[in-house]
Amino acid sequence: MKQILQDLRKGTTYLTEVPAPTAASGTLLIASRVSLISAGTERMLVDFGRSSMLQKARQQPEKVKMVLEKIGTDGLFTTIDAVRSKLAQPIALGYSNVGVVQSVGNGVLDFKAGDRVVSNGPHADLVRVAQNLCARIPDNVDDESASFTVVGAIGLQGIRLIEPTLGEAIAVSGVGLIGLITVQLLIAQGCRVLAIDFDADKLELARSFGAEICNLGRGEDPVAAGMTFSRGRGMDGVIITASTASSDPVSQAAQMSRKRGRIVLVGVTGLELNRSEFYEKELSFQVSCSYGPGRYDPAYEDQGQDYPLGFVRWTEQRNFEAILDMMASGRLDVKPLISHRIAFEEAPSAYDVLTTDPSVRGVLLNYSATGDAERLAPSVALQAGPQAYTAVKAVCGFIGAGNYASRMLLPAFKAAGAQFKTIVTSGGLSGVIHGAGAGFEEASTDVDAMLADPAINTVAIVTRHNSHAALTCKALTAGKHVFVEKPLALNNAELEAIQAAHATGSAQLMVGYNRRFAPHVVRMKQMLSAVKEPKSFIMTMNAGAIPAGHWTQDPAVGGGRILGEACHLIDLMRHLADSPIVSAQARCMGVPVNGVADDKASITLGFADGSFGTILYLANGSARFPKERIEVFCAGRILQLDNFRKLRGFGWPGFSSKGSWRQDKGQEACVAAFLNGIESGSGAPIPADQIFEVAKVSITVAEMLRAQ
């Protein structure tokens, strides 16, 4: 299948071959017929990609602040690598798709194969979309009209927030696609509408729908027009659907509004508000969030948990349905909004039109009836012809290509001499993006086919945490060496299954506990090996806050932050103590918030040789402080490591400090040690009993915190 991507670094828009996704639980697999290019949102993304680095920075000052903070803690070179990596990742374009359902995943009850649906799927031959982001199309609504549904829902949500009543005077500032649909919906609701814009053609369309107009391009005063239109009383409400860096639309809206008028921002504008304009009239100002309630809520969008109708009448899915009903009844006509029809195969030319022709309104991409064999192919070649592999070295299959895999592990495996065969991702796209750059032979969405490939002897698992155990067991059973990102397992049952699978063969098992391989930690280990008495440790992870709804916080998916991240320090303490863990205690700070109990916690470990240590995992600190600090007290001496960049010694003869220009947490050395163990036959660099011990303690500690 083919998909449209936008290169944020170079600004180019292009089509690429992608393996077909599978219909995961709670999702629909949809063969596209028509998709709509959003003239506002997608033009903004294309313009951003084509801008210089300085222009990008000026457009996102909040990101510049984050970059400066990262330089202060992680160092300049590490930060530069992170920024370059982020900009090097192309993004999928599109969010207004019409197609026919090919298959549905487990748990989908309201859709079936053959249904004609609208979704927020991207511009691609085949899209996979969560069920709550889809709606069935009425029979009397054609595909082209239905493709405006998602864009229409954005305008509808703005209308719902402004709560217009019959006869009210409402201004729509900016009459692009969303604005023109908003005009029609307001008129259908019995409102008097004033359309404001610079574009005469779009204003004429608004007039044809029943609105009065104010042409800013001719120098007309929008405030005066609003006061005249409202019979001198002031506008009851203003919906801003414009896209501009200027704050003028907001200021004009305030000036033309009556006392206690309502202003809703649907588009993108500057937000330099004049307090007096709002204060004197007691105006309300609200920013609309996309399609409606449910947007950006993982429970609603990803897990399919609908909001109760009696409490949330209009969710994003129900807004989709409302727009389709308006089309079916004839009260919303989007046909006049279509300005271009372009074949999907020629999509890049559509974006040239989008950025050069200001009169563009609705650009439709039409998809040809591609055969199922091509559209549903589970793999695509990334290199010309089959590659030759050296069997005594690692021939790798990767499962997962998220941020950590692409930024850290793929470069580390490549630097260590790994041979890349197949990269597997559930959606296909990220595998193509990162697999091509790394040098993989193919990208796929079929895990079983990859595990059955006799050429592959090593598998790296870098997926969401709840899939680690099952994939590790399958890979070990298939006789593959396994490198799995932490955590190894989320519970004891999963851990026992992995131990059983590992015991039945000779394949190596490695968990990505990279901290013990960091250069400064290697130096610490060498220095501590001469100390025979017990040691005490204080390890602080200034983890930073993440939303309670993030998947890593979900015990069933991410396992929580102790299992997902603090396990690194449990392993590191076990490594530096060089003694088995014999006791573990844990306590969380305060009471759980939003069900999250373990992102502010203290863990105390005891070791067989009498050593002990405390791990402070804290999400309530400042980003200006080092993210990780390791301190060891022993024999009248102290070692202190800050953020894997600067090691200090107190009381150590001949050693006071050693620093690094670049932060190094040991990722490359960790992977190199694993691959060397495969090639040399020396075995995994971390003994299996230590891997299982650390996993067991991490699970125990996480359970303690959840029980509090």
> Which of 1, 93, 117 lies closest to 43, judged by CA?
93
Percent of the residues in the chain that have a pLDDT greater than 70, as a whole number: 91
Residues 540, 685, single domain; the answer is yes
The predicted model gives 28-45 an average pLDDT of 82
**Distance (Å, rounded) from C-alpha 388 to C-alpha 379?**
19
Residue after which a domain boundary falls, among 366, 389, 411: 366
C-alpha distances out from residue 429 to 85, 444, 485, 689, Å: 16, 9, 21, 37
Task: Tell me which residue of 199, 167, 83 sits closest to 75, measured CA to CA.
Answer: 83
Domain for residue 685, yes or no?
yes
Q: Does 548 share its domain with 656?
A: yes
In this structure, are 535 and 678 located in the same domain?
A: yes
Residue 12 has pLDDT above 90, yes or no: no
Does residue 585 share a domain with residue 464? Answer: no
One domain for residues 619 and 604: yes
Closest CA to 421 of 454, 444, 396, 438: 396
Q: How far apart are CA 323 and CA 156, in angstroms?
A: 8
Answer for the pair 685, 673: CB distance below 8 angstroms, yes or no: yes
638 in Cβ contact with 649 (< 8 Å):
yes
Highest mean pLDDT among 57-61, 319-323, 654-658 belongs to 319-323
Query: So what's the pLDDT on residue 38?
Result: 79
Give the Cα separation of 231 and 236 in Å (integer). Answer: 11
Cβ atoms within 10 Å of 369's Cβ, excluding its own: 8
Measure CA of the first residue to CA of the last residue in the chain; give whole Å: 50
Domain containing 31 — which CATH number? 3.90.180.10
Residues 527 and 649 in one domain: yes
Q: Cα-Cα-Cα-Cα dihedral of 94, 100, 106, 110, to 10°?
A: 100
**Close Cβ partners of 87 (under 8 Å, ≥ 6 residues apart):** 8, 9, 56
CATH number for the domain spanning 257: value is 3.40.50.720
- pLDDT tens-digit map of 533-565: 999 999 999 999 888 878 888 889 999 999 999
Together in a domain, 342 and 408: no
Residues 88 and 160 in one domain: no
Q: Would 448 be classed as within a structural domain?
A: yes
Q: 61-74 vs 76-87: helix axis angle to the nearest 10?
A: 140
The full DSSP string for 489-522 is: -SSHHHHHHHHHHHHTS---EEE--GGGGSHHHH
Span 590-598, average pLDDT: 66
Q: What number is the average pLDDT over the span 398-423? A: 94
539 and 477 belong to one structural domain:
no
Per-residue pLDDT reduced to its tens digit, 48-79: 555 555 554 555 566 556 555 655 666 655 65
- Residue 341 CB coordination number (10 Å): 13
- Say what the pLDDT of residue 344 is: 93
> Mean of the pLDDT values across residues 18-25?
91
Residue whose C-alpha is closest to residue 206's, from 188, 238, 184, 222: 184
What is the rounded distance in angstroms from the CA atom of residue 137 to the CA atom of residue 357? 31
In which band, very low, low, confident or very high, does the pLDDT at 449 lie, cut at 50, 70 and 90? very high
In a domain? residue 305:
no
Pair of tokens at residue 125: 């031959």
For residues 240 and 195, give the distance between their C-alpha atoms in angstroms, rounded to a whole number: 10
CA atoms of 490 and 708, how far apart (whole Å): 18
Phi-psi region of 654 (alpha: psi -120 to 50; beta: other; left: phi over 0): left
Whether 328 contacts 140, CB under 8 Å: yes
Cβ–Cβ under 8 Å, residues 323 and 177: no
CB atoms within 10 A of CB 59: 14
Average pLDDT over residues 338-354: 86
Q: How far is CA 654 from the centre of its chain?
A: 48
What is the sign of the dihedral through the CA atoms of 111, 115, 119 and 121?
positive
**pTM given for the model:** 0.86
Q: Are strands 338-343 and 657-659 parallel, antiparallel or unpaired?
A: unpaired
Query: How high is the pLDDT of residue 41?
Result: 65
Average pLDDT in the 329-337 region? 96
pLDDT value for 355: 73
**Spatial distance between the Cα atoms of 684 and 699, rounded to a whole number of angstroms:** 22
For residue 8, the model assigns a pLDDT of 72
Question: Does residue 292 sit within a domain?
Answer: no
pLDDT at 19 over 80: yes
Dihedral over Cα of 7, 450, 476, 389: its sign: negative
- Domain of 431? 379-514
Assigned domain for 594 exists: yes
Q: Please, what is the average pLDDT of the chain?
A: 91
Condensed to tens digits (0 to 9), the pLDDT of residues 152-197 reads 999 999 999 999 999 999 999 999 999 999 999 999 999 999 999 9
List the structure tokens of 244: 């501009």
> Sorting pLDDT into bands at 50, 70 and 90, what band is 599?
confident
For 248-307, write each residue's pLDDT tens digit: 999 999 999 999 999 999 998 999 999 999 999 999 999 999 999 999 998 899 989 999
- What's the pLDDT score for residue 539? 98
- Residue 444 corresponds to which tokens in the numbers above? 């796929």
CB-based burial, 651-677: b 16+ in 10 Å, e otherwise: eeeeeeeeebeebbbbbbbbbbbbbeb
- Rg value, the chain, Cα: 29
Let me know whether 137 and 203 are in one domain: no
pLDDT of residue 69: 60
Q: Assess if residue 314 is contained within a domain.
A: no
Task: State residue 333 phi and psi, 5-degree precision.
Answer: -115, 110
Dist. CA 705–CA 559, nearest whole Å: 12
The reply to whether 6 and 41 lie within a common domain is yes
pLDDT at 85 over 70: no
Asked if the structure places residue 317 within a domain, the reply is no
- The tens digit of pLDDT for each residue in 364-376 reads 999 986 656 677 8
* CATH at 694: 3.30.360.10
Choose one of 287, 310, 326: the last residue of a domain: 287
CB atoms within 10 A of CB 228: 14
Is the peptide bond prior to 336 cis by the omega test (within 30 degrees of 0)?
no
Kindly indicate the confidence band of residue 6, based on its pLDDT and cuts at 50, 70 and 90.
confident
Domains in the chain, number? 4
What pLDDT is attached to residue 432? 93
Q: Report the pLDDT value the prediction gives residue 87, as an integer from 0 to 100.
A: 53
Residue 294: inside a domain: no
What type of residue is 334? Answer: V
- Domain finish residue from 486, 514, 542: 514
* Per-residue model confidence (pLDDT) at position 79: 58
Give the pLDDT band (50/70/90) at residue 361.
Answer: confident
Q: What stretches of 89-233 adopt beta strand conformation (E)?
A: 91-92, 97-104, 116-119, 126-130, 134-136, 169-173, 192-197, 212-215
Are the beta carbons of 441 and 433 closer than 8 angstroms? no
User: If DSSP codes are grouped into helix, strand and coil, which group holds residue 94?
Assistant: coil
Residue 234's nearest CA partner among 168, 158, 160, 164 is 168
Q: Is the pLDDT of residue 679 over 80?
A: yes
The reply to whether 529 and 635 lie within a common domain is: yes
Between strands 481-484 and 458-461, the pairing is parallel
- pLDDT, greater one: 648 or 390: 648
pLDDT at res. 360: 80
Amino acid letter, 265: L
Give residue 375's pLDDT: 79
37-46, 124-133, 408-417, 530-539 — which is least confidently predicted?
37-46
Measured CA to CA in angstroms, residue 677 lies from 57, 405, 475, 482, 509 at distances of 44, 21, 18, 12, 11
State what percent of residues in the chain have pLDDT above 90. 75
